[in-house]
Every structure is written in C-alpha cells, then in structure tokens.
Structure 1
C-alpha cells in the first residue's frame, strides 16, 4: 500500500505579515495514514515490477522457445508518470500476463478495475480475479481491448463471490494472441467508497474573554456539523495554546454551531447555539457544559448574547426576532412581542446582534431584514429605531457594540458610530459621529478614549472625541471574532494591559496581541486547537481532473486526487485557503469557477498556477453593490461566464451577472425574473437558459407563486422569453427550478420533484412528470437537484435530489432507478465516469460502476 503525506496548502503571499502567519499555520500539520482508496502497489510501474508477478502458462506443444516474448518496464510509453509495462507476445501457444499482489476485499461487494492501455498489435485483456483465503482461484472476469492509436482507459468489474477474501488484477495476452500492449496507471475500487472529510476547520466562531482570575482565558467555539457537535476551546492567552476543549452536550436536536458567546458579570460563560436554538452555560474550571434549554420556543438560532447586571444575560433569536433575559435565579423570560420590533409593512425575523448599557438600563438591538437598530428602554419598554434613514435599505447589521458612550453598528463593510441622547421627555436622538469604511464588524472595549478595530485588514485606532481613525501599521489577516484587554504574565514585553484579539484565519484559530505602551505586536496560530470536519457545501470537477469541495460557513477549497486518497476520514488531504464559503463551482475553458458567499462573488481559478489569493483565484464578478449575496448557478458560453444569484438579506430581487472576456466588463441584470432568485443556468446554441426560485433573500417573504424558465440572449443582453412550467398533478405551482442541464440537444431539468425536458427548437416542454413526490418546497429553495451525463453510459442520466436520493434516469422512457436513498447531495463526475456526492454531511463518496 502507498501512504501519503497530508498537506495543507496556503497562499505564498498576501503581504509580508500574512505570509509569516501562513508559514506558522503549516507547521505541525501532517499525518501519515494507510491508503483508503484500494490502491494497487506500484500501480504505475515507477518501481519496476515490484508488487507484480509474471505469469506464463506452459506451451501446448514441445516448442518451449519464447520467440523473444517478454514483459518489461519501459519509458518508451507512459500515460502516468515516466514508465509503463510492455507485454510483448510473439507466440500464440502461450499466454503472458502480469498479476498484482493480492488485495483484501469484501465478499459480495462489487469491485471495478481501471487501467490505461495502448495496444500496438493483437489484443490485450484486463482481468479481475477473486481468491479464497487459501489462495485458490474462484472466479475471474475480463475486458478485451483491440488495437488503439493512443492510450485508452478500460475497465472490468465483477461481484466478489461469497467465499472471496482477495482480488488481483491480471494484465494479460492470451495464448491465441500475438501482439504488443503497454499498460499503466492501474486503479482498483469498490462500487461505493467513503473518501472521508475533504475540508476541516479549527477556526473560532462565537468567542468571549474571561474576567477576574480568568481574564487571560478566551472561550471560543469551533463549528460542528450534522455529525459532530461544536467544541468550546479554552485558550490561554499567555502560552497561546488550547488548555481544554469541551464538546457541547447532546440534545433532542443537536447544536450545529455557536454564533453567540458572552461572559456575565459573575464570570460565567454563556453560549447560544444553532440550529437547535438552545443556550449553554459553562462554569470556568469545570469539565462539562450545562444545557439550559431553549430561551424561546421554536426558535432555531440564538444569534447573540450580551451581559446585563447581576449575572443576567440578554439574547436575541431567529426566526421570529425574539428578545429574552436569562436570570441565573429565575431562568428565561421573554421580553416584549415576537418580533420584538417590526415597522409597518416589514417582516422582521432576526434579532441578529445586541449590546446592553447597564448604566442607563438600555439595550441596543439590531433587528431586521432591512437594518434597524432599536434603543430599548428596560424600565418603560419604549423602543426607538436610532439608525439614520440613509442606512435603512442596507442589510441587517452584523454586530453592535457600546463603548465610550457610543453605539458602534457594523453595516455592510462600515462601522457606523452613533451618539445617542435621551431628552427629559423621553425622546431618543442619535447623531452620526462617523462611518468608518472597509471594516470588519467588531470594535474593542474602550481604553483611554479610543477603541480598536480592523480596517482594510489592518489594526486601526478610532479616537472617540476627535472621530479620527489612525492605522496602527500591523496586518491582521482573517476575521476578528472578539477583542479583549488582558494583563499578560510577560510584563517585560507586554506591560500593563495588552489588546488581544481572537481571529479566524485560514480555517485556524489565531491570536493577535498589541501593546499600546511599547507597540509590540504579535500574530500567532493557537496550538492544540480541536479540528472538526467541515460540512460539504459544494462539489465540482476541476479541469485538472481533481474533485474540489468547499465547506459550509468556513469555505476553503478541498482537493481530492481520484484514487490517491488516504484512510484518515477525519482529516482533509489538501485544502487551499483563504476563500469564503463556495456555493457553486464548475469547470469551463481549463478554469475552475467559484461562486462565493457572501457578496455574490465569482472567482476564476487556474489549477496549473500556484494558489495566490487576489491573483489566482482572480475575482471576476462582485455583486454586493447590486444587493446580491448567494451565487447558486454558473454557466459558460460565447466567451462569457454567467452567474445566477440570490439577493441579500431583505432583498427580493435576484440577478443574472455576465462577465465578458473580450471586453473585461461585467453586466448585472437585477430582477431578470420578477422578484425571484436565479438558481439554475445552462448554455446551449448561443442562448442561456435560466431557472428561478420564489425563495429570495433571507428574512424576506416571497412575493411570487411559481418558478420560471427564461431565455437570455448574450448578444443583445436581453431576456427574450419566459415560461411557466406545466401544471403539477395536485394543481400547485412549482416554486423552484433547481437544475438545468444540456443533454442530447435538449434542456433537462428538475423543479422540486418533477423532471422536465424542454426542446429549444420548438420551445415546448416535451416531457414533464413527477418522479419524487416527497421532494417539495412550498416556500421555494436555493438549491436541490444535480444531473450528470457521462460518456461511458450514454443511455442514462445520473442525479441526486432532496439530499436523499442518488438515482439514474433511462433516457428513452425516463424511468427512475434509485441507487441510494440514505442521503446523497451534490453530484459531479471524474474523467472515468465515476460519480462523487456528499453523504453524512461531511463525507465525499464515490460511486463506480
């Protein structure tokens, strides 16, 4: 078996500090593991004939001469690496073969062998053999290859008999044959193979600093997935390592992750989770975390937490924008209505961020879809939206801090600073002090009249009285989750209090330290952090033949090289970072296109060139200025690349964006389908076909009833037609066209559980039928089905749907054959026609046949 080093690849340079950080990130990463892919020893003959045995049967007559026949390794030809093996057969009365070492297999399972062959003359056979535990040959199956002009990949498969314990591969020239064949790159696989985790993370999300005797401790949570609960890591800011890691307790619905974290005035640590909407308490020094239950019933997210007086904690929820108080003595109390605040005509679902001012007994609540920041008076219950009118159409605020008697609101790359006053009659007035551009959400606690923040990926200081922003001169790559002031043990190098930040950088946990007295600065990767597999969020085949994946929330670009994976299912093999969550990826024109959330971005990545963010991958389209957020569809044609998007939170208008390679320009068509998202695209014969969904930006109620199929002409840059789907059997209108694929000069697609075939020539739906009655989305969806057509099986189309089924469709009669119904999502193929899909949330699986 061949073992491989695990590698994490990071960009060579963003700037000098980032480069140093990334080099540190690479240190300590790398475990050796046995091969999970059932690799054939010396599969490409780069080590001569090691692991292979020559097989020559006896002559049928009395002539024992080989007549020059031989089996040898040569560099004359090669499809993989530098060498191949040549089998030269000059005698019809004898067979000449080369047999691999025995491979342990599972009786009753189906196994497939692939090999590259170049047959110069005669014929050649690829044979799979099964043996019992005593080494006795039980069965074999073969594929015969005729002469070929170039290298060709062939395959043979057979179900292992009940008594089988081993399999071998035989490269053979039978006794009736004379000729020459070259063999290379032999691959062996089971029909279904778990290829394991492709993208993992050690990055923090919800984070908070301890107080009192724990003031040098940082408590942060690494996000989990459907199989792995989140882990709270406890970081010692002095020694820059995790000193303890505690998994959140299980529940009826397990937590997936934690956005909300805070420290109460009595030093307790509180966490608010999703998707189960529960709250957790940690007493510093203990070994377990306590589940406090759901603050508000039927809420999926506890989005943020903030401390109040006397050990109390306030929190906000989704999806009914609830506001609550937690008292360690009395428990949970709902405050006000749900939603806590909602202007007429709005549909507010989020209480996304909040902060409490204990001196005035006031909380500031960031609610929305469209942004509102509410001044909530706890004594009177009065509420006033203090956000200036010019920000009312922006998306939901990402964070709210209260420092130095100012409210700091993070809105779409700005931090807006508000001075809030309350008149004697109770009138609340907010004056805008500043709008600081190019910032990430958080500001530090105030010290000496200033707060610190991240602007243009560098540390900066904001003077509250002068309203001036001054760069400190140190790069802070990644995203700061929380700032705190810590009195470090090393008072010689860090006298007094030091500003410490915990950051998510390249899927790792980092600490930043800055001492204002001597300006000492340090950015370092935290040691001993727990790593959790990332939930796969997209899958695509690269132009280099590799299979690429990305993870929900944390992004990254995982790379799987077919048949060269390892067996450590908990660790990814190759990950490129940083890159945010990739919602869609596809290959065209020798490039891999990456649709990235947030901001509705499209990147072009060339796998032949080094990974270098800002250069490769290169940003082609950025649709945040057009109120777009989630890229769900990509297509290529006419020297243009097209992207379909979902609008930002609170926005109903989706968009079709076009990048023109000839001009280097971007055109964004908002609302190309009235108040719908664009989630499926296919290019055919000079025209672009698109599918929509009534599901629009988060926290927005759909205004439309049915999905549309539309036609766009790239030459005129106009929508030329729009079609409703045929009527569903139950009379309900279908809400989402989730897939479009050009197959045999027709447009195949899925709309919820219905398969349709659209004929571009006569513009009719020539087939429409419900295939999956259990796949329905009354409110629309952002994505669902995938279809793949592969050359080696021209009579079928393969697909996944409903995060449940892997299936194939007979092209002639459109009958469905279910291959798996235990969870399958996303779908792509490799050059051999093997299919790759997500299973168990974090695992990449391969189906071979």
Structure 2
C-alpha cells in the first residue's frame, strides 16, 4: 500500500477541469456498481487484439496514434497495451469505454504500468451530457522497469453520470510503456478528510476535521474521546460489494494521548443491517503516524461495506486518522529479485566444420544456460536456455563433437550439436546448432556427472537411486548394472570417469568413507578401489589420466584432499591438499604432467615423479581445460572462474596469458528464503548459487548482490541480518549499514557445527532474540545423517556457542518461535539427503532460556499423524501457532492436507494443544514447508501447499479462505501488513491488503 500505489489524497492536490466535445461511443454503457468495489472494464487486460485496440479510443485533444496491443510484456495474461510517445511536444492517450456513476460518490481508477522510459498516468473523465470534467493526478516520479500500480481517486461532480479511464503520456514526456489490467470502482467518500464530514462520514460528537496533524493535504480526522465511558467514532459511506469478495481497509493513525483504537469492516445486507463486524484493535506508539489495516471476506448476503473507526470506552484519548482506503487486495508481481551468472563448468570442443575451437560454459540459474564462445578470442557465439533446469552439474564433449550436460532437474540431460561458426557483419555467429533434451528413466532424477566414451557414447552418474547409464545417440539410454544401483545402499553416483569400454570409474555416496568403483559396462563386473578412510561422504570428482601402465585416477573427496590413485590396483600415489579447481587437465601432449589450480595459482603434477609445482598466479580457479597449438607451440587453455581464459605455455621460460575475457549472461535465480529484515526491507536469498535481493516497500527500490551462499533461512537483530548458510550450517552476519562485498560483509560468524561430532548442513530454523542478544538455530544434518541439532549462539563478548545434537531423537529442527523465556522448536522426521527415516511424527520441544536445560528437553507431538512441524509463530492471541504436514498415520485425508495447531505457552504439552485438522491443502514436504505470519489486522496468513490463505483468528474454528490459489511458497510481511511471497520459484509477489 506504499510507494507503488497512488492514494486518494493525491487527487486533492491537482484537479484539472475543462469542457470539450463529448466522445461518442457506440458501445453500451456499463454499471460500475454492479460488481462491487472494483469492476473490470471491457478489454481491460488487452487480451482482445482485434482491429486497433478494441473498446479503447483516441482522444481529440491528446493526439498520437502510437498505441498497440502487444505480447512483449504482460502483467497478467498474454497481452498489454504498448504506448510509444515519441514526441516531446505532443501527448498520447487512450480512453476506455464509459461506465455509469453516481454524482458526489468517489471512484478509484487503477492501471498496472511497466515504464521503460518517460511517464504514464491514469486520469478520470466524468461526463455530463456533452461536457467533460477531466481529473489528473499529482505529479509523481515513476518507477521504471517493473510493474507498478498507478491509481487516481476523485469524486464524481454534480450532474455527471458516466466516467471513463484515460491512460496518458504527457506533452513533455518521451515514453515507452506497457499498460495492463485497467479497472475502476467506487471507494469511500472523503477518504482524506479534506471535505466536511457532513454527508460523507457519520460521526459522534467527539469527531471533527483538524489541521493539527495530517499525513498529506490540509486536514485529518480527530477523534476526541474525553469520556472514559463513551467511545468517539466515525463511519464511512457505504460501498457496494458482493458476497465472497475479499476486502481490505487501511488508515494511518496518530495517537496523541491515551491509547487504543479499533478499525472495523462493517458488512451489511440490502437493508443496511450489519451482518458481520470484523475488527482489528490497534495500539500504536504515541505521537507518530502508524498504518493500521483490517481485511476479511464478505459473507453471504453482503450488499455493502463501510469502514468504522472508534476509540475505546475504558480510557480517555485523542487520536488522529488520515488516508483511509477501501479496496480489494491487489497482487503485484515484483519480478526477479536475484540473478547470477556462475561458471559451473566448462569443456572445450570444435564446431561442425572443425575449424573453430569452442569453449562451452554451463551456468546455473532458472533456467540454467549453455553459453558457447570462441575459445581463442572469448567471443560469444551462442546462448541457450536449458529450460526448467536450475543447475548444470556435469559436462562432456563426445567424440562426435556433441556436448552433453547433466542437470539437477527432472531426469534431463541435454545434448548440444554444434553448427558452424562464421563471421557476419564483423561478428562471429554459429548457425545450424541444435539443443535436444534427453529424459532418463525413473529414479535418475539428478545427473551429477557425465563422461565421454567411444563412438559418440557418453556415461553418466545419477541420484536418487545410485544408478549409472550409457547413452548412445544411435541407440538411446541403457541403465548399467541390470537397472540396479551400482552399490546397494549408496544412492548418489556423484562422479564418473571413462577409461575404456570395459573400464569406467564411479564415485559413490553417501557413506562414512568415500567409495570408488571400477565398473565394466560390457559384463557388469565391478571392484572397489576406495582409498584409506579420509572421512569423506562423497567423491565429488574423478578424472582418469591415460598413461599406459602408469595410468592414474584423480579423485576429489568431499572432505578436501584430491587423491592420486594407481588405476590398476587403487594404491595411493599421493594426496594433494587445497585443490579447488574442477578436476585436472588431461596429460600434456608432450610431458608427463597434468594441471589444476589452488586458489588463484596454477599447479602441475608430475605423474612419474609424483611431485607438484606451483606455476604462479593466474587470477582465478580453473573449471575446464584443453590443449591447443599456436604457432607450433602447445598451450594449456583453461576457463577461469574470474571470467578469463588462461593460456599457459609450458617451456623453459613459461608464459601466463589471461588477457582474453568472456562474459556469462545473467539468469534468474530461484528464491530459497524470504524475510522482513533490517529497516523493514524484504530480503531474499538465492537457491544454489546464493545472491541476495532487497526490496524497499517505501520506495519500490530493488537492490541485488551476488555471493554469500544459499541461506536456508535468515533472521534479524537491529541492523544485522543473520544468514544460515548451506552447506556446512555456517552462520553469516550481514551488517546492512556497511557495504556488501561478499568477503567481509557478510562475514562468517560461526562455522563450527559442520564437522564432527555434529555434521550439520542446513540451518532452516533461525530465530533472533534481541533482548538476550542471542541466535537460536535449528538444523538438518549432512547427507546420510539424521541427527539434527539445536544451537544457541550468544552474540555478546565473549561469544559462546552451545549445541545440543539430536535434541529430538533422529529428527531435524526446522522451525523456531520465542515466547516468555521459552524457545519452541519444531521438527521434521526427515534427516539429511540419503539418511534413514526412523521417526514417525514431528515434535515440538521447549527450551527454557533462563535456566540450564538438561536433556532430554521437554517435547511432545502437537499434531498426531504428522511428520513435519513446518512453522511456529507467536499468534495474535499470544499463544504458539504452528503448521503440521505430512502423513504418518495412514489417514488418507492427511495425504493432501495440513493442520493448524495452537499451543498454550504456559502449559506446553499435548493436552493443552488445540488441533484444527485438515485446515489447508498440502503437498509433499521434507524440510521447507508452510510459512505463517500474523498480520497487523489480527489475522493469520499462511503460505502452504502452493496456496496463500487468510485465517480468521477470531472465529472459533479458525476459518481459512484462499487468497491466491497456485504457485505460492514462503511468506513474510512488511510494517504496513502487506504480504510478500514467492510465486513460481523466482518471482517475488506482493499481496497488498
């Protein structure tokens, strides 16, 4: 309800009135009052793309004919109206059909606009016979490059009986903009109290307009309750509304003396009788303006609604109110919040002609990308979206020049067949390429790695069933090992390397000791060549280096070292520490060396001598290698994460050349966590590659940063945002008053629970307690482990950390709430990826913050038959409200539903918990499920099962209504009570109540 909305007070500032010829319309008039507060006018979303712009006309005064129906952008649907005003001396306008109005009533017109340059405004034209009264809004600097709502409110002048909406680009503005979802409707009279109260508001004797305090304009409403027994009140005019409509009212309140004010929605039937009174009792800080709101769904039989403001009857008080609004809630698409362009992998090959050396880069995002460059110049020749994928895990180039990409999504491997590179108008382009998705069999959900075999074949390792495959473009996919896991009980084949058609190496996990398998694809025989126990869960990377009888396998372990193993018997040659490159190069064509990086330094490893050498700073970590010949010399080429191409000459006098650069295009990033953070801004963290988006509700300003990692959840104390980072359950602190730099801000605050004995990975439970200056963190264990932890971080000096591992036996801690010196923790029966599930029901435990807790900590099942306690909050009644999901009872109704439960914090046990069963729709959940916030209107709002609900906290059965019916996840709210959630994974949405 803030910066991106135009409130009624603005129309009081500017009102331009003049007469001109009546616009003759051949279309029938429509009754704006027929459908309630807001009605849609014909072709309001421009989906009708017939001749011209159907149902919209030009205006004789506001010239140019440069508006069209466009499918380039749309707020909803497929089309919008594109307005291109190329003149700085002439205006551009389009006028809707007219609708009937009632004189002296107030009406609001709204549009959604995406302004690339210039300015677009919405005007109202009232009609009285042949006379027009044109009302323009106040001048407001527009927000560019995002969909924003622009509105205007005005009273229908005496004698007028029709109104039309005009979308307008001014004389001075050169504009390119898109307009969508135009609407007009009735609102309360005298919403800013600039006119006399008589005839617009019904008031008590203690109510009057006042100039002493105001948020805009000249006047506000003053409610002076000098009596402690009689309330002072003001009720707005009635506004038509139909049953089932969601209605929201808001006002700004300034308590001057005393405390307590209530804002009501009074729903009335056709005779004017109140059939439902929805109230939000508000107590705000004295001597400052504070927003207050109330919202509800109109009950059956509703004909109208009014806004009712009243003081209490127990104490005398003086309070001011201003800028009242009454409208249906609006859902805004605030768009992508986070973008990234990570260099996740690179391989080298040639174009179809064989004349151009190509560098292929895989970049994660949603969608992920395959980007193709001239390897020698860094020029981009192709940019392909890998639709519906979020990560590129493995890449290889087959013997037929095809490039294969293993992805994190939906059993999909992509095959890119390169075309031919040519130069057109001085720019290199590739033509004739194709990108083909290949769907693998069931169980092969994530393709971790791919490696090239003979005759165009490729091999790949997958999860979640620990299977490997061979793909032949002439014969399709063959699941190896007779369609069975390579090693029973190991569900992740994280790495794979090809030696020959009878020898393929596979890195398996999760396990306490990294497992490497030598597998024969022709007969299915296998042997284990696992190294000594290095405490690694996975083998993250494998490279087979052909060197005759001295061939080697380089194995990168998840615990850190890279091992060099003899391929014949698995004996260890050496262990290389600090290697952070993505694998090693092939063997140098004329030397017994392979290459890799540590930090920014290039290293070589001499296979025969079993020694490594530091070759110098190259400015970045390597992710892919090849050897190319220039002027008779053999050079190592490597793609560096710094965006450089390394060209290294191994010679008596070595040379390092990193002058060639390449740029990876940005791609949207999925949103992993969402919170209201410091200074009431909305913070989002990115999935897989991190990054942060910050949205300012007051200004609609968006800020984006890269780095920091994937925050599973976040919480706030003062100006500091605390982030729970995966992997490793690290805790980072972002000081929002200092510059973001991803090295020292956010800074690493704690990183002690990822290793033994705790092995924690995902901090989903994040709770800050400012008075105690503590963080409470609930976490999910690492892969293969099911003992979640609860950790107390004392942020005072000296800092102290207390971790209680397995606080609820073999469950993860994913939700936390604080009330009256108690932390309430909610659990999930699911542990880390690939772990054993041996618990049946999610629990709530209670941690006393003022005394030394001893284990076992008090715990109980709040919602029998449920596996996951996905969220806990302090409810509007001061009790602990929670969400419970997942079916562990065999009750079929639990398969697709979730429960609401309420705990008495003074008696936290099952006997004092009320369960509202099957309250919401649900979908399968392990760790991250439903989210709940308490609105400043006293309602609870729940994002669960891909839907957004409002829960009537005052109803005995906690009635829930669906506000948004699909695509919803996560949830938070701003200080105004407006809701924010993620829709379809990458876009932030705002529900303006």
Shorter-normalised TM-score: what interval? 0.7 to 0.9
What does 1:508-547 align with in structure 2 at a 5 Å threshold?
510-516=643-649, 517-522=654-659, 524=661, 526=663, 529=665, 531-547=666-682
Asked if residue 709 in structure 1 is aligned to residue 844 in structure 2, the reply is yes
Aligned to 1:586: 715
Q: Offset at 1:273? A: 3.2
Alignment of 1:715-754 (within 5 A): 715-716=851-852, 718-725=854-861, 728=864, 733-743=865-875, 744-752=877-885, 753-754=898-899
Preserved contact between residue 863 and residue 884 of structure 2 (Cα < 8 Å): no
Map 1:25-174 to 2 at 5 A.
33-34=144-145, 36-38=147-149, 150-154=287-291
Q: Is the 8 A contact 1:419 1:433 kept in 2?
A: yes
- Which residue does the alignment assign to 1:377? 520
Residue 848 (structure 1) aligns with? 992
Q: Once structures 1 and 2 are overlaid, which stretch shifts more, 518-527 or 646-655?
A: 518-527
- The reply on whether 1:266 has 2:400 as its aligned counterpart is yes
Q: Write the deviation string for residues 303-357 of structure 1: whole angstroms up to 9, x where unpaired.
A: 2110112221111222211111122333222221444432xxx622111110111
TM-score for both structures, normalised by structure 1? 0.73
Q: Distance in 2 between matches of 1:652 and 1:721?
A: 18
With over 3 angstroms needed to count, the CA separation of the structure-2 counterparts of 1:260 and 1:180, relative to structure 1, is: closer
Equivalence map 1:630-709=2 (5 Å): 630-637=762-769, 638-662=772-796, 663-709=798-844
Structure 2 residue 491 is the aligned partner of structure 1 residue 349: yes
User: Secondary structure of 1:657's partner?
Assistant: strand
Corresponding residue number in structure 1 for 2:889 = none
- Distance in 2 between the 1:512 and 1:748 partners? 55
Consecutive unaligned residues in structure 1, runs of 5 or more: 4-29, 42-49, 61-70, 91-107, 121-125, 127-142, 160-178, 423-427, 567-572
User: How far, CA to CA, are the matches of 1:463 and 1:655 in structure 2?
Assistant: 44
- Say whether residues 1:399 and 2:541 are aligned partners: yes
Q: Which position in structure 1 is the counterpart of 2:128?
A: none
Q: Deviations over 1:18-69 (max 9, x none)?
A: xxxxxxxxxxxx999355333689xxxxxxxx99xx99889x9xxxxxxxxx
Residue 456 of structure 2 corresponds to residue 311 of structure 1 = yes
Unpaired runs of 5+ residues, structure 2, are 5-115, 118-142, 153-171, 174-191, 199-209, 223-244, 258-262, 264-279, 297-317, 420-430, 886-897
CA deviation profile, 1:536-569 (whole Å, cap 9, x unmatched): 1110111211101122212101011115337xxx
When residues 115 and 236 of structure 1 are mapped into structure 2, their CA distance, relative to the original with a 3 A threshold, is farther
Aligned equivalents of 1:185 and 1:37: distance in 2? 21
- Whole-Å separation in 2 of the counterparts to 1:581 and 1:272: 21
Tell whether 2:529 aligns with 1:418: no
Distance 1:57 1:788 in 2: 37
Residues 109 and 266 of structure 1: CA distance in aligned 2, closer, same or farther (over 3 Å): same
Separation in 2 of the partners of 1:396 and 1:323?
16
Q: Deviations over 1:759-818 (max 9, x none)?
A: 2322323302313464265xx61121111123342xx22211123333324255242322
For residue 844 of structure 1, report the CA deviation from its aligned partner.
0.9
Shift in Å at residue 381 of structure 1? Answer: 3.2
1:235 to 373, 394, 397: 373
Distance 1:190 1:750 in 2: 25
Partner SS, residue 544 of structure 1: helix
1:409 aligns with 2:547: no
Q: Is the 8 A contact 1:296 1:324 kept in 2?
A: no
Secondary structure of the equivalent of 1:326? strand
How far residue 181 of structure 1 moved from its aligned partner, in angstroms, is 9.2
Matched, 1:800 2:973: no
Structure 1 residue corresponding to 2:614, chosen from 470, 482, 489: 470
The equivalent residue for 1:763 is: 908
My pick for the range that moved more, 616-625 or 375-384, is: 375-384
Which of the residues 969, 972, 981 maps onto 1:828?
A: 972
Match of 1:783 among 918, 928, 931: 928
Matching of residues 569-584 of structure 1 within 5 Å: 573-584=702-713
Aligned residues of 1:369 and 1:650 also touching (Cα < 8 A): yes
Residues 517-553 of structure 1: CA deviation (Å, up to 9, x unaligned): 32233484516x2x33222111011121110112221
The equivalent residue for 1:132 is: none
When the two structures are superposed, what TM-score results if normalisation uses the length of structure 2?
0.63
Residues 196-234 of structure 1 deviation map (CA, whole Å, 9 limit, x = unaligned): 111122334354221473663122334453xxx443221
Question: What does residue 133 of structure 1 align with?
Answer: none
Shift of 1:716: 2.3
Equivalent residues of 1:339, 1:349 under 8 A apart = no
Compared CA separation, residues 116 and 380, structure 1 to 2 (3 A): same
| Equivalent residues of 2:345, 2:623 under 8 A apart | yes
Structure 1 residues 292, 78: CA separation in 2 closer, same or farther (over 3 Å shift)? Answer: same
- Change over 3 Å in CA distance of 1:681–1:514 after alignment to 2: farther
- Assess if the C-alpha contact under 8 Å between 1:350 and 1:367 holds in 2: yes
Contact 2:622–2:638 (CA<8 Å) still a contact in 1?
A: no
Q: Distance between the aligned counterparts of 1:89 and 1:583, measured in 2?
A: 45
User: Number of aligned pairs?
Assistant: 709
After the TM superposition, which residues 575-614 of structure 1 pair with which residues of structure 2 at under 5 Å, given as runs?
Answer: 575-614=704-743
Provide, for residues 251-294 of structure 1, a one-character-per-residue CA deviation record: whole Å limited to 9, x for no partner. Answer: xxx54543222101221112233422133322211545353633
Cα 1:118–1:462, aligned 2, differ >3 Å: closer, same or farther?
farther
Task: Tell me which structure has the larger Cα radius of gyration.
Answer: 2
Q: By how many angstroms is 1:597 displaced?
A: 1.0
CA-based RMSD: 4.5
Q: Return the structure number with greater relative CO, CA threshold 8 A, min gap 6.
A: 1
The whole-number CA distance in structure 2 between the counterparts of 1:535 and 1:255 is 11
* Contact kept in structure 2, 1:112 and 1:190, CA below 8 Å: no
1:811–1:397 Cα change, 3 Å:
farther
Contact (CA 8 Å) 1:85, 1:182: kept in 2 or not?
A: no
Tell me the secondary structure at the aligned position of residue 336 of structure 1.
helix
* SS of aligned partner of 2:563: strand
